[in-house]
A and B are shown apart, each in its own frame.
Chain A
Amino acid sequence: MAKERDLRSYMNNNYPKTSERVPDGVVKVGDPLFKGWQAIGYGRYLVGALIMLAIPILIDPEIIPALEGVDSPIPFIQGGFGIRVLVVTGIWILLALGLSVVVGMAGLLDLGYVAFFMLGAYTTAFMTPSGGADQFHIVEWPNVAALPFAVLVCVLAGIALGIPTLRLRGDYLAIVTLGFHEIVRQTANNLTITNGSRGIPGIERPDVGLPLSLGGVNTEFGVLSSHTYWMFLLVPAIILAVIMIRHLEDSRVGRYWTAIREDEVAASAMGVPVVKMKVLAFAIGASTSGVAGWIFAGYATFISPNNFPLLYSILILAAVVIGGLGSISGAVLGAILVTGLPEVVREASGGQTIFGFDPETGRIAIFGFLLVVVMIFRPGGLLAPRRRRIELSEASAAEGVIIDESAQPSKDELEYAASIHEDAQRKEGD
């Protein structure tokens, strides 16, 4: 009963927003800190952005020359190398956000997500001048102009992959998406325009036209040449993606996705356009990886199929699940763990071996071990989404007790139920 009512109020759009549905005991509603955090609204994103930007600026010796050769106060993030790790982490956060739409919200198991990332990067490479080699681009536009096309190509690829394959059940979809990744990668490996496995060198960096000059060392006008400057591109992109997904989650579309994820048959019986919504999830998920691909192509200036191994598709899925399926903060945390953890292990080990085990080469082994441990002790992920936690607390509560006030039947529903009851009694009387 509760599930049916849930679904109906979903469709009627009078379901409370995810951000408002916080039952007692799950998250501390009365906590003043939490209330304050909610009250500032979009200010939250601003705070987050400032923190994310402050870290690289404060440790970049290129911006603050005094930092040259000084250990940064934040452990494991040291100087130029640390900032490069941050940029890569940022790109992975974008990817994880996109994938969390596909896997977390719509419940479609996508094991080839990095294929979209790759398409975005290659589209960028084809459209910008690349190192004087004529054959590796179709048009010679400035890097920034390639962004909409990178996104467009990814969205179209998402639709093209989605339409024929979304009839398939979960696990079949997984292998088909995995195959899609391999098809894209091998094709790039074999064509002449992609220069095969040798890759495309010398991709132009974006000229954002902003007079970015922090400190005195690297002040090339507008062109993103310093690693830290890339954070100025990544952080707004991440924030925008978060806002977009947050709004989608609470929109009619997001509820359709949840309905499909929980029970596809029931959802389609309730009139959810299942295939359309699945394709939409694929397309929206692919769009953020288009942005990520565009950023990666400009940042690395060199791309080859080896930058996009199958392993990454698997790792990014691991990031989303380990963080907490369907949770935005979980996706961010997962991406940070996947990229950051191996680096932390590398730093912390300092080249020492323990009983012949070398943490530097074995860091993926450690990561794998942690994956298993996390899944055993927190099957829902580190930051299980609020909705999932509500469901869990409802399940553990005694049957019939509904914690959430707003999930009680509405007045209309009660009247409807009463009228049915009366009808039934009248018939019995006859």
Chain B
Amino acid sequence: MTGLILGFLYALIALGYTMVYGVLKLINFAHDVIFATGGIAVFYLFGLWLGITEPVTGAELALVVTAALLIGGLASSGAAAALERLAYRPLRRRNAARLSYLITAIGASFFMTYMYQQDFLLGTGKRSFPNFMDRQSAVTEDFLGTRVTDIMFLVVVTSIVCLIVLDRFINKTRTGRSIRALSEDITASQLMGVNVDRVIVTTFVVGGFFAGVAGVLYGMRFGNVVFNMGFIPGLKAFTAAVLGGIGNIRGAMVGGLTLGLVEHLSSVCIGSEWKNVVAFSVLVLVLIFKPTGIMGERMGG
């Protein structure tokens, strides 16, 4: 179950990587900060300003949780859109080499991460996340032999809803079709009348939203936020995206779940200190035998 929870979180973050990669062929290295932004925004709004630090119940709980997830998602969307406008679009206008994008992304990631580290924002240490949802109370004590807490249940449900919504969005709506068109051929879709800039921003916004939701869930699950909380999950999510086949949305889900389960199983069977070694070894092995990941690179279903 722990592995599954982790897998769903990875999958949510991986969606952003894979969408941006599908459209721009760019590894958005700053996506880890986008993820962190969601958690940090909710920490600020709910923890510091509204002061909701005690667990709430009933309708109030539903309201608070929904609001938190939405606000986290929107904050991350905003950050992602700003990133696209301020950092990537000038590069696109100049037809920069792909490595320039990568370095820009790294630069943006450093900038935002270490701004969060400043004392007027988060500071260096861990800050405890507002625990408006009781971290101990469990939905069921025995689901296939494990204890499922409310938060775990919430993570699973939210993730599944998000994944289904996104899948429908990409495959059924007009905007989704534009995104798929862009991932096939930018020039051709521009000639066909797709507003490239707007679709690219949309991609960032949508990817950012899911990352923000993941950020809030992450904060609720682990009970704290740190300025560099995004680095490791971001890296793992990127690995998950590649594992599933980068650019492929269903691949991101499959990759995320696979990675989460592999990590959990290896920490149970071999020892948690080896889990990263096993996770990356699995990645290398999969790529050697299937160079475009488990599900291939095609974006649409």
Contact = CB atoms under 8 A, between A and B. Distances in A.
Interface of A: 103, 109, 164-165, 167-172, 174-176, 178-180, 182-183, 186-187, 189-190, 310, 314, 317-318, 321-322, 325, 356-358, 361-365, 367-372, 375-376, 379-380
Nearest to A169: B291
Contacts of B99: 103, 109, 321, 325
A357 B120 contact: yes
Please classify how large the interface on chain B is, using the bins under 10, 10 to 19, 20 to 34, 35 or more. 35 or more
A182 B280 CA distance: 8
Contacts of A367: 107, 110
B64 interface: no
A178 B235 contact: yes
Nearest to A177: B284
B110 A365 contact: yes
A375 B104 CA distance: 6
A358 B288 contact: no
Interface string B92-107: 0010111111111011
Given A368-B114, A375-B107, A171 B284 contact: no
B287 interface: yes
A172 B108 contact: no
B239 A364 contact: no
Contacts, number: 143
Contacts of A321: 99-100, 102-103
Nearest to B33: A368
Interface string B258-301: 00000000000000011011001101100110011000000000
B21 interface: yes
A165 B287 CA distance: 8
A179 B284 contact: yes
A174 B27 contact: yes
Contacts of A376: 87, 90-91, 94, 104
Given A164-B288, A165-B284, A187-B277, A369 B107 contact: yes
B91 to A, nearest CB: 6
A363 B274 CA distance: 33
Interface string B20-50: 0100010101000000000000000000000
B277 A186 contact: yes
Interface of B: 21, 25, 27, 29, 87, 90-91, 94, 96-104, 106-115, 117-120, 124, 235, 238-239, 242, 246, 273-274, 276-277, 280-281, 283-284, 287-288, 291-292
A183 B277 contact: yes
A103 B110 CA distance: 21
Given A186-B277, A317-B103, A361-B124, A368 B118 contact: no
B114 A172 contact: no
A176 B280 CA distance: 8
Given A183-B281, A187-B277, A369 B111 contact: yes
A175 B87 contact: no
Contacts of B292: 172
B277 A368 contact: no
Nearest to A319: B103
Nearest to B281: A183
Nearest to A322: B103
A368 B274 contact: no
A179 B283 contact: yes
A323 B112 CA distance: 22
